[in-house]
Structure 1
């Protein structure tokens, strides 16, 4: 019996090279879909390129509140134009500097750019550096989609018994996501869970074993996040994850990955739900 899992590529729109790689993998049937960053100047062109895949792949919104330029700057959230670090935003003490209205206004702007460019609501929503788990973003989701069709949300990871960097990352993300699945499902959202795909991105060789564990262990409908991409000059100015994106693309496009799926009796879920 075939089991299907979701593979969602983050960061569509981050740079042309990242978008190229994601579109190629969607075309090969190696991704369920992608989530889009709408805050960059190239977004409208990127949106035009992904329109042919609407309905065939899940096209979501990747909420961005850290490290990148803000659409709504200058504001209390980004007085100099740059969004704060995750450490500042997630810290209970430091985030008091950021007003709820400023955060919600930025999220409104990103959502509006998605809808205006694609003419539809996102199929799913997640967050750059998992910011959708933050209480202020949970509140925005509930208000923005009250009384309307709700997108799927990326849910929380399951704590592992491992040790080292990966186990610490999983524990940190799980702590940020505490209560998220339960509270958002109570508000009428569906959560894609459990979340897999967390590893030490400083070690690109760890990606293939991480995929293998997910293919062998994720339950039906579980979600694996990934970050494939081709490195270009624009990416180099926006994000430190570079070589690892190429490694992820190479593996997901490979015959080895296809053989792995076949051997495990696993398919990649397509479509929007």
Structure 2
């Protein structure tokens, strides 16, 4: 009997090349699903392409509050229509200049675009740069879904493995996520945890070993996040994470990855999160 592992790709909709790579991997059974960024002009076309996979793959909402265009337009969150850098949200002294109602309006807009184009709510919710762990976003999750009988699953906090090159980054994300798992479970959400897949993406060679470690140790309730993609001009204009996406795609699509899964008695989990 094989053990399932949940592999989720972030950033579907960020750029056509990213969406292409993710769809290829879903079709090949190399991903459990993907989180969608719905604020871009290409979202309608991207949604049409992934819609047939609903029910076969876990299709989530990848909440985006940093660096990209604002789906809800200009506000205290995005004075010129562009979302701020992460420090403006993560540092309390800077976050205090942002009206929480504007954050909720932006999240409502992204959620509404998902539901409109995919004819229903997301299977799960997580956040670009882990913004779903922020207090303002926790409040939005509770306000929107707290009374709902059908809640989306949520991506939870990372575990803290033995100290390695990525350990400071893992610790930083864990600190941002402090209290998230417990509070959301008490509110009735299913939480996918521990989160795995965090490494220094400026060192692409680390991805394969990070993935192999997850195959050996990640429990069924956990999730491994990844960022496969093909680099195109739109991605170059929008995001600094570029060449490493090709590396992740190559690893995930390789025969060697399939062989590692078979040898370990592990399969990529199907369908809903």
Residue of structure 1 equivalent to 2:178? 178
2: CA distance between counterparts of 1:204 and 1:223? 20
2: CA distance between counterparts of 1:159 and 1:260? 24
Deviation at 1:158, TM superposition (A): 0.8
1: CA distance between counterparts of 2:135 and 2:61? 18
2: CA distance between counterparts of 1:188 and 1:221? 16
Aligned Cα RMSD in Å?
0.8
Residue of structure 1 equivalent to 2:271? 271
Residue of structure 2 equivalent to 1:47? 47
Residue of structure 1 equivalent to 2:124? 124
Deviation track 1:36-91 (CA, whole Å, cap 9, x = no partner) reads: 00000000000000011000000000000001111122101000111111111110
Is contact 1:4–1:221 with CA below 8 Å preserved after alignment? no
Deviation at 1:159, TM superposition (A): 1.4
Alignment of 1:1-273 (within 5 A): 1-148=1-148, 149-164=150-165, 166-273=166-273
2: CA distance between counterparts of 1:237 and 1:177? 30
Deviation track 1:92-138 (CA, whole Å, cap 9, x = no partner) reads: 11100111100000000000000000110000000000000011101
Deviation at 1:161, TM superposition (A): 2.8
Deviation track 1:180-228 (CA, whole Å, cap 9, x = no partner) reads: 0000000000001110000010011111000000001111232000000
1: CA distance between counterparts of 2:25 and 2:11? 14
Q: Structure 1 unaligned runs (5+)?
A: none
1: CA distance between counterparts of 2:155 and 2:14? 19
Q: Secondary structure at the match of 1:114?
A: helix
Q: Structure 2 unaligned runs (5+)?
A: none
Deviation at 1:146, TM superposition (A): 2.7
Q: TM-score, normalised by structure 2?
A: 0.98
